[in-house]
Structure 1
Amino acid sequence: MKCLFLTIFILTTAVSAYAQDYKATLAKMPIYAESAEKGVLVDLVKAIESQSGEKINLVIEPFARSLHNVVSGKADFHMPLIAIPGIDMTTLDYDYSTETIFHVNFVLYTKKGSNISIDKLQNSKVETDIAHLPYFNFPIKGSSNLELSLKKVSAGRIDAFIFADFASDPLVKKNNLTNIKRDLFKVYDVKIIIPKNGAGGKTDKFLSETISKLKANGTYDKIMGPIEMPYDNWQL
């Protein structure tokens, strides 16, 4: 009997030793991740968990804090973040995933009649989400409140705001900001963020393999389809 209990204990310990609980952190944004129960990326994380059989502990945080969770070692991966072609990765505190999870339209929001355009941003007052500051090659200030930044554009307090259409457009419509003009800034690949210098290699492999299975069985397209859309100039 003692031998039986010893065997069970050893087997249980071995399983526990190899079990992998992942910590995921998502940026709180409309459509993408509104709460731990609502959002396209929330559904994606739950599908990854279900497909893989691995436990994923999920938290929703403000964008900059969510990203910092990976940098500080508090999380295994963060979603989402745009990938800038040719960016010097040695200047960043994290690595991109191998997998591109979707594409995003970054939109330039300006006040109608202001004559602010993409080629005039160098000398303009522009804001973007604070976690995205390193991605622009002209002076730009960080924002921790997308809704407030769009209202500042509407009121003429800043010249422009640049961010993802799926996160920003619902706020334009919700607040009836009819004096805001929209122009496509750029279409970016969107990646998952993992720890730097190979520390996230195991997580990257896990995510790539699981997402490949979700794509093969159609689950991935069902979840991500609503945000994998071309730019819509809906103001016309």
Structure 2
Amino acid sequence: MPAWATDLRASVAYIPTLAEPPSQGPFIELVKAMDEVYSEGSISIGVYPFARSIQNVTSDVADFHLPMLRSPHYSDEGRPFRLMNKPMGQVCLVLYSHVDDRLTPQQLYRHKHAQPYPYRLSIMRGSAQFIDLPVEEVNRIEQGLRQTSLKRVHGFLGAQEEADQVLRELQLKSIHRSLFECYDDVIILPKGERGRRTEAILQQALETLEAQGRLRQLHRKVHQPYQDWQIYDPPFGSAN
């Protein structure tokens, strides 16, 4: 084993159907594929609540966390962690608002500097720091969607596949979907030498999977390009 090689600990955020304990879901399959091509060591996997999973990296419980989006305004400066340069793929963030007040990203940004900000928005805990708008955090996707349905908040921002799954399960026909933006889907790393070593290992693993034609296939099981549909339209809005 080369001197720089080591065993790594992956901390994966719990996401229903995509990453569930103890170790199942498309995100888990992606990490296992990275482990498979990393012949100089091994990658163990733990699944945790989203915010705790990020904290695992900064407290040395894990060597890296996934997933996380990289927004254009984000900077590593002042953060206790950093984002990996090479993305796993793309993730589309969807704006869920009430059908009586269908919001667009343009509306949200138009009033960005208004005091007070006229919209109450929510996002999953641990993600607010990556969005360049005033947002509050919730612990579960279900919470954000239900609050939107009840008009307790104006909108919820959620990754397409994760939030759509919950929307279908809850059958909240009062929810309207619109594309917020698509971002790089990346890995969170610790700062310093430990993070640089980890990034070198993970980048090589991702590049190997890419060269094998597997990376795109594996990530497409997690995140697709934006799908334009509404829960209140057939077949979802039809009577059972």
TM-score (norm 2): 0.86
CA gap 1:230/1:114 in 2 versus in 1, 3 angstroms: same
CA gap 1:55/1:177 in 2 versus in 1, 3 angstroms: same
Structure-2 residue corresponding to 1:84:
71
- Contact 2:160/2:223 (<8 A) preserved: no
Tell me the secondary structure at the aligned position of residue 9 of structure 2: strand
1:123 to 118, 123, 144: 118
The reply to whether residue 105 of structure 1 matches residue 97 of structure 2 is no
Instruction: Give the whole-Å Cα distance in 1 for the aligned partners of 2:173 and 2:204.
Output: 44
- Contact 2:177/2:229 (<8 A) preserved: no
Instruction: Give the whole-Å Cα distance in 1 for the aligned partners of 2:222 and 2:88.
Output: 10
1:147 to 139, 142, 158: 142
Structure-1 residue corresponding to 2:114:
none
Q: List runs of 5+ in structure 2 lacking aligned partners.
A: 109-116, 234-240
CA gap 1:221/1:16 in 2 versus in 1, 3 angstroms: closer
Deviations 1:23-56 (A, max 9, x none): 1100001243122332111001111111113221
- Contact 2:12/2:53 (<8 A) preserved: yes
Structure-2 residue corresponding to 1:44:
30
User: Which entry has the higher C-alpha Rg, 1 or 2?
Assistant: 1
Structure-2 residue corresponding to 1:185:
180
Which range moved further: 119-128 or 138-147? 119-128
Q: List runs of 5+ in structure 1 lacking aligned partners.
A: 1-14
Structure-1 residue corresponding to 2:227:
232
- Contact 1:30/1:166 (<8 A) preserved: no
Instruction: Give the whole-Å Cα distance in 2 for the aligned partners of 1:77 and 1:205.
Output: 12
The reply to whether residue 174 of structure 1 matches residue 169 of structure 2 is yes
CA gap 1:188/1:43 in 2 versus in 1, 3 angstroms: same
- What amino acid is the match of 1:205? A
Deviations 1:78-99 (A, max 9, x none): 0011112242311221111121
Tell me the secondary structure at the aligned position of residue 42 of structure 1: helix
CA gap 1:16/1:119 in 2 versus in 1, 3 angstroms: closer
Count of residue pairs brought into register by the alignment: 222
TM-score (norm 1): 0.87
The reply to whether residue 69 of structure 1 matches residue 65 of structure 2 is no
2:46 to 52, 59, 63: 59
Structure-2 residue corresponding to 1:29:
15
How much has 1:176 moved relative to structure 2?
0.6
Instruction: Give the whole-Å Cα distance in 1 for the aligned partners of 2:65 and 2:150.
Output: 33
CA gap 1:47/1:109 in 2 versus in 1, 3 angstroms: same
Tell me the secondary structure at the aligned position of residue 22 of structure 2: coil
Deviations 1:204-223 (A, max 9, x none): 01011111111112232331
How much has 1:17 moved relative to structure 2?
8.3
Deviations 1:148-173 (A, max 9, x none): 11111111121110110111000000
Which range moved further: 44-53 or 183-192? 44-53
Instruction: Give the whole-Å Cα distance in 1 for the aligned partners of 2:135 and 2:73.
Output: 20
- What amino acid is the match of 2:204? E
Richer in helix (by share):
1
Instruction: Give the whole-Å Cα distance in 2 for the aligned partners of 1:138 and 1:20.
Output: 39
Instruction: Give the whole-Å Cα distance in 2 for the aligned partners of 1:86 and 1:126.
Output: 18
Instruction: Give the whole-Å Cα distance in 1 for the aligned partners of 2:220 and 2:104.
Output: 30
How much has 1:19 moved relative to structure 2?
6.3
